Structure 1
Amino acid sequence: MIAHPSVTLFVDLSDGDGLVYDAHGRRGRGSAVAGLVPGDLRFGGRAARGIECLQIRLSPVLAVAVLGASTDLSGAVVSLEDVWGRDAGRVEERLRAAVSWDERFTIALDALGRRMSARPSPDPEVAAAWEMMLTSWGRVRVDSLANEVGWSRKRLWSRFRSQIGLTPKHAARLVRFDRAAHLLAAGVAPAQAAAASGYADQAHLHREVKAFTGVTPT
């Protein structure tokens, strides 16, 4: 799994052995949650009719409201039940019993909505800073973010880190990398992807891709 600026839920809907995931050399089975920058994460497994899985990507701002966690998930891969609680099993049963993917999407949205309404949301300043990172593709300075939300740099750094799970600078790097990764996947040459994503040069892009994925842009 390539690093992505979201917390990702993988809900296992398979029959038989189902989904198997491996992260940091530790293997798990069943539904899982991958936090921001989860590292070397692989999914696989065997089932009678193949693997069926519902993937849900939540911005870290929504992950705070839905899961009550974001910081604790950064760099981690854990079972869905660990962060969702016992209700995770009931949601999985409803999703498996659904007769169409449209029905599954409706069930998932309903479950997410109910959790959001029952949990506190992150600071609006943190949410605004994250949105500015996304709209600028990570090409924004922390000082500018702090000025926009009316906080000091130190306060933004502290609150953002405690609620999102990454420092503002690291989060902006992740968003910028995601932009570059999409361009590279679309066949854009590394030099052009570097320029379009705000990197100083192709060597800068090379270092960042290696840092986030362990492989070269090629």
Structure 2
Amino acid sequence: MQPLAPSALWEIATPSPSRRLPGVAMAGFRARGAADLGVVPFPAVTLAIDLGTEPLVVADGGRGVRGSAVVGLSGGGLRGGGRDVQCLQVRLSPVVAHAVLGGFAVEGGPLTGLDEVWGRDAVRLEERLRAAADWEERFALVARALAARRTEGRPVDREVAYVWGELARSHGTSRVDALAAEVGWSRKRLWSRFRAQVGLAPKQAARLVRFDHAVHRLAAGGHPAAVAAEAGYADQSHLHREVADFAGLTPSAVAREPWLSVDGVAWSAPGYLHG
């Protein structure tokens, strides 16, 4: 296990390499006092497993979840926090999420309680995590639960997995029509199967992956014009419109979002989105 590392408000723990699973990233978070931050959309489905003495609260303006939650693929407009928060977060590529969460990734909306997806299994897992001796034991428990559910779940089509993997690898710049031709499917079939299993149309998924790459470059200090060119946007105005559409912010404002400040520590596992 990596040692707890402070990042502003948060203390963060990450698993040892032996706990890593394809298409999965895990991190433990602890904050002392009050915490509240907005969620910048990103191309993964998240499990937030509440381990604190006070409930974790995740809300999207219309709905709120107190306790362990599942945040869908395009979960923008959400805020999360509470007092003395302690939680274990799991990010799942859509390929993995389809198997371990059943239809939630497609049908469940942007936010729901983990117990609504996993039932009593969610309660039992949370109890075992609270009783665990340390973060490494918690990561091991979650890794086993996810591996079992992925084995039992229904995988996505190989063609859908390939297209998602190429979008992740290229940071959303691969041409979707060309990918359809590569897998031997018509455009209509790819759109239908991809949306049914991932929850977004291929081009919307590509936009989200490219946006995620761009905002991380902005948070790292990149100038918007340079980031726009690197990420494959037509120009800086195009980047500005995409950031406003996904996050409701300007490029300079999204670069300062606390949500992004922990990513270099918490979500540095290589290639987890490919799954």
User: What SS is found at the alignment partner of 2:251?
Assistant: coil
Q: Is the 8 A contact 1:73 1:165 kept in 2?
A: no
Q: Is the 8 A contact 1:36 1:73 kept in 2?
A: no
User: What SS is found at the alignment partner of 2:174?
Assistant: coil
* TM-superposed deviation, 1:68: 0.6
User: What SS is found at the alignment partner of 1:44?
Assistant: strand
Task: Indicate whether 1:213 and 2:247 are aligned.
Answer: yes
> Could you tell me which of 237, 243, 253 is aligned with 1:203?
237
Higher relative contact order (CA 8 A, sep 6+): 2
Give the aligned residue type for 1:143: D
* TM-superposed deviation, 1:174: 0.4
Task: Indicate whether 1:2 and 2:40 are aligned.
Answer: yes
Residue 13 of structure 1 corresponds to which residue in structure 2? 51
Give the aligned residue type for 1:71: V
Give the aligned residue type for 2:206: A
Structure richer in strand, relative to its length? 2
Matches within 5 A, 1:1-218: 1-15=39-53, 17-46=54-83, 50-69=84-103, 70-74=105-109, 76-218=110-252
Give the aligned residue type for 2:202: P
Q: Distance in 2 between matches of 1:44 and 1:137?
A: 29
TM-score, with structure 1 as normaliser: 0.95
Q: Distance in 2 between matches of 1:114 and 1:142?
A: 32
What is the CA deviation profile of residues 158-185 of structure 1, one whole-angstrom value per residue up to 9, with x for unaligned ones?
0000000000000000000011011001
* TM-superposed deviation, 1:18: 1.7
Q: Distance in 2 between matches of 1:84 and 1:182?
A: 32
TM-score, with structure 2 as normaliser: 0.76
After TM superposition, the structure 1 stretch with the greater mean CA deviation from structure 2, 64-73 or 198-207, is 64-73
* TM-superposed deviation, 1:120: 1.1
Q: Which runs of 5+ in 2 are unaligned?
A: 1-38, 253-275
Q: Is the 8 A contact 1:157 1:167 kept in 2?
A: yes
Q: Distance in 2 between matches of 1:73 and 1:205?
A: 29
Q: How many residues align?
A: 213
* TM-superposed deviation, 1:28: 2.0
Q: Distance in 2 between matches of 1:53 and 1:73?
A: 22
Q: Distance in 2 between matches of 1:38 and 1:53?
A: 18
Identical residues among aligned pairs (%): 57
Q: Is the 8 A contact 1:34 1:73 kept in 2?
A: no
What is the CA deviation profile of residues 95-153 of structure 1, one whole-angstrom value per residue up to 9, with x for unaligned ones?
11111111000000000011111111010100000000011110011211101111111
Q: Distance in 2 between matches of 1:137 and 1:40?
A: 22
Give the aligned residue type for 1:202: Q
Moved over 3 A (4+): none
* TM-superposed deviation, 1:24: 2.8
Q: Which runs of 5+ in 1 are unaligned?
A: none
Q: Distance in 2 between matches of 1:197 and 1:121?
A: 30
Q: Is the 8 A contact 1:139 1:172 kept in 2?
A: yes
Over the residues paired in the alignment, what is the CA RMSD in angstroms?
0.9
Residue 24 of structure 2 corresponds to which residue in structure 1? none
